[in-house]
Amino acid sequence: MHYYESLIDTIGNTPLVKLNRVNKSIPGTILVKVEYFNPGNSVKDRIALKMIEDAEKEGVLKPGGTIIEGTSGNTGMGLALVAIAKGYKCIFTLADKQSQEKMDVLRAMGAEVIVCPTNVPADDPRSYYSVAKKLNEDIPNSFYPNQYHNLSNTAAHYETTGPEIWEDTDGKLTHYVAGMGTGGTISGASKYLKEKNPKVKTVGIDTYGSVFKKYKETGEFDQKEIYPYLTEGIGEDILPANVDFDTVDHIVKVTDKDGAIMARKLSREEGLFVGWSCGSAVFGALEYAKQNLKEEDVMVILLPDHGTRYLGKVYNDNWMKDHGFLESRKFATAKDIIEHRNGNGRLKTINKNTKVGEAILKMNQLGIDQIPVVDGDEFVGSLNDTKVLKSILENPDVKDQRVNDIMDPCFQFVGMDNTIDVLSSLISKEAKALLVRDEQNGVHIITQSDLLMAMAN
């Protein structure tokens, strides 16, 4: 009889499938490695098994222990499967932008799920990174795999994913493409493939709002690159230890919208019911291929997970329309608002050393109720008329002080492709405006009135 001792023995050896329709007119052979054939329907099953087995060998994880991890959902699923097979308990922390389906699946597998806010820094005690670390410190006999910095992540792909791709392409591979999140998938497989053939080109797929592309190209970790995005599973606001930039030749950024639409296209035209970041990977790969692939080349794109994780988002027409991805609104994104705004002139700012009285006069002359505060080319704060009025009522001498003394924090930067729904969620009583950095035309401001006008259309 032929059977497996447990489900985790079926991890790996996923198939390569040729793309036939979405890549029309693009030269070369383009294959996708379909990771939803893993038992947990994602590439993360590979690292889950490797991290747990390495922890057992090192004596870090003992029988009856608890596995605690911060996850976007897929790693949690893989860890849950391994935990069931090996007799461990699981607690997972997820950012609140993750789909409800991912949370429900993890709970169905017996895991405890803790939902944390998305739009907080990684070192904020409320972030899903920090909450996982704190639980690990407080709960006896627990293990925190920490997929971002645990090099067993990279090792799993060096030992399995890379060799599978090389063998299945009979060594003819010329290009490897994968999304960049924790970094293990792209770095581990790429390291192996480049050892077999140093000429193999590796293309990483990043998202707008993430730090990877600029860091790769300049060596600078730019906080200005970080802003909210919706795509799950790729992009980071940190530099995980598993990201080895030396194994990545080029990085392509893909918008939330382009990734979501391509995922749906893969389902309809190729029969591949895949997740959001899979759409991002294919869209970015094809954009790169248009300019760089030759007829004799063989490109492999790794597709990380299954579409069932996104039934309430990417595969829900109403959700797609609400987020401007199916063009239900005339003004759908920050870019649309800026392009259609009347009198779109240079952004008005005020220097931090300007006297408050002069700032009030300038705001009155311009007819605005808030203004960004700058120090040279840097945005350092903001000023709004409500706060200024309150300060002067409490102390009339405030008008002779510098703006720097009473200003509020800087308006948050967002991306050109952020949708109206995301922009609206970031506007509040305390933060009445947002800033958008346009590489061609500088910085723009989006106010409450801009959003109201966009929604009316």
How far is it, in rounded angstroms, from Cα 301 to Cα 281? Answer: 7
**318 burial class (0-12, 13-18, 19+ CB within 10 angstroms)?**
exposed
How far is it, in rounded angstroms, from Cα 192 to Cα 159? Answer: 8
Instruction: Report, at the CATH architecture level, how domain 334-456 is classified.
Output: Roll (3.10)
| Active-site residue flag, 290 | no
Q: What is the rounded average pLDDT of the residues 385-397?
A: 84
Q: What is the pLDDT of residue 227?
A: 87
Q: What is the rounded average pLDDT of the residues 419-431?
A: 78
How far is it, in rounded angstroms, from Cα 73 to Cα 138? Answer: 23
Does residue 331 surpass a pLDDT of 70?
no
* DSSP secondary structure of 104-167: HHHHHTT-EEEEE-SSS-TTSTTSHHHHHHHHHHHSTTEE---TTT-THHHHHIIIIIHHHHHH
Name, in order, each residue with C-beta under 8 angstroms of 58's C-beta and a sequence gap of 6 or more: none
Q: What is the rounded average pLDDT of the residues 184-196?
A: 98
Q: What is the pLDDT of residue 251?
A: 97
How far is it, in rounded angstroms, from Cα 353 to Cα 456? Answer: 39
Does residue 165 surpass a pLDDT of 90?
yes
Asked which of 78-82, 191-195, 330-334 is least confident by mean pLDDT, the reply is 330-334
Q: What is the pLDDT of residue 133?
A: 93
CATH of domain 7-42+151-322: 3.40.50.1100
Q: Do domains 7-42+151-322 and 44-143 have the same CATH topology?
A: yes
Does residue 143 surpass a pLDDT of 60?
yes
- 65-74, 256-265, 357-366: which is most confident: 256-265
Q: In what order do the strands lie in the sheet with 378-384?
A: 350-351, 370-375, 378-384
Fold assignment, 44-143: Rossmann fold (3.40.50)
How far is it, in rounded angstroms, from Cα 370 to Cα 447? Answer: 9
- 155-164, 341-350, 434-443: which is most confident: 155-164
Q: What is the rounded average pLDDT of the residues 373-390?
A: 87
Residue 271 contacts residue 225 (beta carbons within 8 Å): no
Catalytic member of 18, 33, 44, 191: 44
Q: What is the mean pLDDT of the chain?
A: 91
Please state the length of the chain: 457
Q: What angle do CA 152, 173, 199 make, to 5 degrees?
A: 85
Q: What is the pLDDT of residue 390?
A: 83
Does residue 457 surpass a pLDDT of 80?
no
Confidence category of residue 365, pLDDT binned at 50, 70, 90: confident
Q: DSSP state, 305?
A: B
Q: What is the pLDDT of residue 166?
A: 98
Q: What is the pLDDT of residue 342?
A: 56
Q: Where are the domains of the chain?
A: 7-42+151-322, 44-143, 334-456
Q: What is the pLDDT of residue 72?
A: 73
